[in-house]
Structure 1
């Protein structure tokens, strides 16, 4: 099992410092929020991408990929009725795929709740069709760059579009492309009626990335969720992707969160292996 951490947690740390610390803790992967690099990923030059990749590799890290894909952008939306905006969104996802590959990553995680929420009066069926259109348009570039786009179900508190793993799989079926797969997130799955181990087993064939966190918005081991059955299910299904820490409450501090999450995950994995 490969452990990574999402780097937006390290507010105001420069990239090289982030990489060195994350590797020193024991992680082997770093997952990037594009808004920490520039307002738009297209503003990160080819030379800058090469430097970031080399610095991560020098620290002993792989760049896993990108998440929070549309955060802090303007004029982009997944399900909107505006065909021009949908086209621009597909083009930007393609640019994200180029950036991801340039950095050495292979995964794009589509969360971005505000940029996928249904507009007033739009039916769920139309929203699904619009989203599928956007993703299908971006797929040729993702395929060329060997990058997979992972649809992330979120909680109903965060969005009104794709709030269960089953809904994510429904959209995956509409897009019908091997580079469009499912992302699973512990915090989000806690809002479902079925247990997380059940959801892991049920959707194992289409799951390509996994985020760990807790309902209190902190990392694994810092809340009430028992990760032993979760890691056991990942082992039983022979999941071979990244397990990446993503937190939303930074108050305890990046260093403590990173260390405690890694310690707990390693101890839990050893206990169930």
Structure 2
């Protein structure tokens, strides 16, 4: 009887993870990832016309406690009318709210997270990317193991709040010029696994992987915990196609773990009206090749 109950528990838990991942990561045609863009909603019409399916705004502009109630209400109206789906936000924790080190104020962090998650639920935002390199940066001289333990414990409490509001937190890898904690997908997998919460998952940022010379095969370790992706070219964080970056090894790794969620272009743009459509066409070309959309098996 005990073994039967244990088996049922893990079956239910696995089903929950699968349903959460599906809710946060809409599948594209024939299982191909959906292309989106991290940009202001001011660019929604341009993005939709260029072929982007979804748009990722920022917590700072849309959901943060510093956003007035009137502005937040207006933001919801804009989201509801948007051409692109707006179900994710980044720029989560401001730098002054520390997640590691002696200056951590847990009550402040959790209070901030609670406000953001309440607003996310009202706005239909289902995933918040945790980059926040300055907030999670380990202070010089502070013990790394202690900092990691701090982060893990605090992240579990943040994830509990996210769960109450039907949202996921998805931590992303950031290169060493932006933070000194979780610079690779490999490290991200270790931390997310240690946190062990179904509402705290992983964002793979392929630009940061490229900057850290991290092999595409490390994405294979993220099977089951990867729910979101960012992408840009390595040298100048340019849009796909500008420098003809070959993303196919990374896309192939995503395909091998069955990833069919969002891939958001988080790039530097100079003329969106001219640059959006070619970027979509370039990345779709590599995706079509890797995911065999032509019909070849």
Give the TM-score category using the shorter length.
0.7 to 0.9
Write the deviation string for residues 96-154 of structure 1: whole angstroms up to 9, x where unpaired: 22232222121111111112111121111011111112212222220011111111111
The one of 131, 156, 160 equivalent to 2:180 is 160
SS of equivalent to 2:227: strand
Tell me the residue number matched to 1:205: 224
Query: For 1:177-230, what per-residue CA distance to the aligned partner results, in whole angstroms no more than 9, with x for missing partners?
Result: 11111110111111445422x122221221111001111211222234202333
> Over aligned residue pairs, what C-alpha RMSD do you find?
2.2
CA distance in 2, matches of 1:202, 1:169: 7
What is the distance in 2 between the residues matched to 1:128 and 1:224? Answer: 37
CA distance in 2, matches of 1:49, 1:147: 18
Q: Which runs of 4+ in 1 moved over 6 A?
A: none
Report if aligned partners of 1:30, 1:61 keep a CA contact under 8 Å in 2: yes
Aligned positions, number: 258
Deviation at 1:47, TM superposition (A): 5.6
Q: Mind listing any 5+ residue stretches in structure 2 that lack a counterpart?
A: 1-32, 293-297
Matched, 1:55 2:78: yes
The worse-fitting range, judged by mean Cα deviation, of 263-272 and 175-184 is 263-272
**Match of 1:116?**
136
Asked if the contact 1:50/1:102 (under 8 Å) is kept, the reply is no
Larger radius of gyration: 2
Rounded to whole Å, the distance in 2 between the matches of 1:238 and 1:54 is 34
CA contact (8 A) 1:42 1:95 kept: yes
TM-score computed with the length of structure 1 as normaliser: 0.85
Establish whether residue 75 from structure 1 lines up as the match of residue 96 from structure 2. Answer: yes
Cα displacement string for residues 219-259 of structure 1 (whole angstroms, at most 9, x for unaligned residues):
22223420233323323322122110101x33x22333322
- Indicate conservation of the 8 Å contact 1:90/1:135, yes or no: no
Instruction: Confirm or deny: 8 A CA contact 1:19 1:55 kept in the other structure.
Output: no
Unpaired runs of 5+ in structure 1? 9-14
Matched, 1:266 2:284: yes
TM-score normalised per structure 2: 0.79
Flag the 1:265–1:114 CA change in 2: closer, same or farther, 3 A: same
Conserved in 2, the CA contact under 8 Å of 1:32 and 1:65? yes
Shift of 1:174: 2.8
1:4 aligns with 2:32: no
Choose between structure 1 and 2 for higher RCO, CA contacts under 8 A separated by at least 6 residues. 2
1:99-178, aligned counterparts within 5 Å? 99-178=119-198
* Alignment check: 8 A CA contact 1:109 1:183 kept: yes
Give the direction of change, closer, same or farther, for the CA distance of 1:225–1:148 in structure 2 (3 Å limit).
Answer: same
